[in-house]
Amino acid sequence: MLFGNVIGQHEIKRQLTKSARSGNIPHARMITGNEGTGKLAIAIAYARYLCCTDRSEEDSCGRCPSCIKFNKLVHPDLHFAFPIIKNDKKKKETCDDYLKEWREFVLKNPYFNYNRWLDFIDAGNSQGLIYTRESETIVHRLNLRAYESEYKTVIIWLPEKMHELCANNLLKMIEEPPANTIFLLVSEAPDMVLPTIRSRTQHLHVPPIDKEAIGEELKKLAGAGGQTFDQTDIKRLIRLARGSRIRLEELLENTDSSRESLELFKSIMRSGWERNIQKMRTNSDKFAAMGRERQKKFLSYANNFIRENFFFKLNLPEINYLNKEEIEFAEKFSEYINENNVISLIDEFTTAEQHIESNVNPKTVFFDLSLKTAILIKIKINHGHRI
C-alpha cells in the first residue's frame, strides 16, 4: 500500500510525508475517522514510507528491498494487532495465528470494516477481541532490535476492541516505547479506547473522502463490474456514499444484506400496522437466527432508516440518503413518522441494539420491540393504503 493507492486524503498524506521528512515523528498516533475513509491504508502507507530507503517527497519508491517486503506485508519490522476469535481446537489464540488470513484480506482490499473481517475468518456469532496475550507478544517483539529498518512499527487496528488487561499492559510501552518504535492506532471509536492511552497519542482525524475522489473510485468500480450510470445516478451514488469507499461498494453491489434489512424492516412495520402477533413471532425467530453482529447491524440500519424517513417527509433531499428501493417504500411509510414519534422510535431501536450488545435474549428483544413499534407508528387508515 503506497500513498498513491490511498483514495483522496491529499492533505493527510502531505502532512504525514512532511513530518517524516522533517524527522518530527511522534511515537504514537491515534488515526481516527469513519469506516471506509482509508485509515488503515494510510497507516500502512505511512509505515512503508518510514522504512523506505529511496522515498520521494510524496511517496515510497516501491522498488527498494523494504518496499518489496511491504508489497506482501511481510516486513520483519512491521507488526499488526487486530480483533480475532479464540479457537482452542485450531490453536488460534493470537494475531500471529491469523496473520496469513490478515495479509490476504488486507492486500485484496484495505477498505473494509469489522463485520467483513469477522465474516472472512468465520467468526459466526462470536465477537472479535484483541486478547491480553497479544500485549505480551507485542512487548516481547518491541524489546528486540529492529531487523532491517530504522523504525519498528506496530499497527493496532481497532484498539477499542482491546481487552482491558491488554490495553493496560500496553500502556507503559506506548508511553515510553523503545527507540525508533512507532505505534499507529487505527480507531473508529476512540472514546472507547482507554483514556490513558488516548492521552499519550497524537490524534490524526481522517475526514470523509472528498466527492471528486469518490467519483473517480465510482468510475473504477462501475467499470470493473460492467455497470453504467447516467449523471443523475452518479450524483446520487456519490452523495449516498458519504465519503466512504465501503459504503460506495455496498451501494454498487446492492448487497443481499441491505435488501434483507429493508425487507425485515418492512415486515416489522406491516405486522405492527396489522397488529399481527403471529407475524411478530415469526419475525422474532428470523431475527434470532441472524447472529449477534447481523442483529446489531440490522438495528442500526433500521434506526437510520427511521431518521431518513423523517427527513424524506420534510422534503429535505439535500440531507436524504435513501436508495431507489428505500425511496419506493418511504413514499408511503414516511407518513407514519412524525415529530410526535420519531424520537421514541429511534430510542426503542437504540435500546434494542444495547440489549443485543448485552446478550439479552434476541427473541425477547425483537418481540418487545415489535410490540412497542406497533403502538408508536401512526396508522392513517383514511389515506386508503397500507404500509
Q: Are residues 271 and 183 in the same domain?
A: no
Both ends of the chain: CA-CA distance in Å?
48
Q: Are residues 64 and 201 in the same domain?
A: yes
Q: Are residues 96 and 28 in the same domain?
A: yes
Residue ranges making up the domain that contains 70: 3-205
In eight-state DSSP terms, residue 381 is: G
**8 Å CB contact between 234 and 221:** no
Q: Are residues 261 and 227 in the same domain?
A: no
Q: Are residues 199 and 284 in the same domain?
A: no
One-letter amino acid at 125 equals N
Q: Are residues 349 and 200 in the same domain?
A: no
CA pair distance 316, 19, nearest whole angstrom: 42
Domain end: 190, 221, 252, which one? 252
Mean pLDDT over the full length of the chain: 89
Q: Are residues 200 and 101 in the same domain?
A: yes
Interval 71-91 mean pLDDT: 89
Give the pLDDT score at 382.
40
Residue 300 binned pLDDT confidence (cut-offs 50, 70, 90)? confident
Domain end: 224, 252, 280, which one? 252
- Residue 119: how many CA atoms within 13 Å on its side-chain side? 10
One-letter amino acid at 315 equals N
Q: Are residues 241 and 258 in the same domain?
A: no
Q: Are strands 202-205 and 181-187 parallel, antiparallel or unpaired?
A: unpaired
CA pair distance 151, 76, nearest whole angstrom: 11
Interval 266-291 mean pLDDT: 92
How many domains are there within the chain?
3
* Residue 35 clears pLDDT 80, i.e. is over it: yes
Q: Are residues 90 and 152 in the same domain?
A: yes
Q: Are residues 141 and 286 in the same domain?
A: no
Give the pLDDT score at 318.
66
Q: Global pTM?
A: 0.77
Q: Are residues 215 and 174 in the same domain?
A: no
Q: Are residues 195 and 102 in the same domain?
A: yes
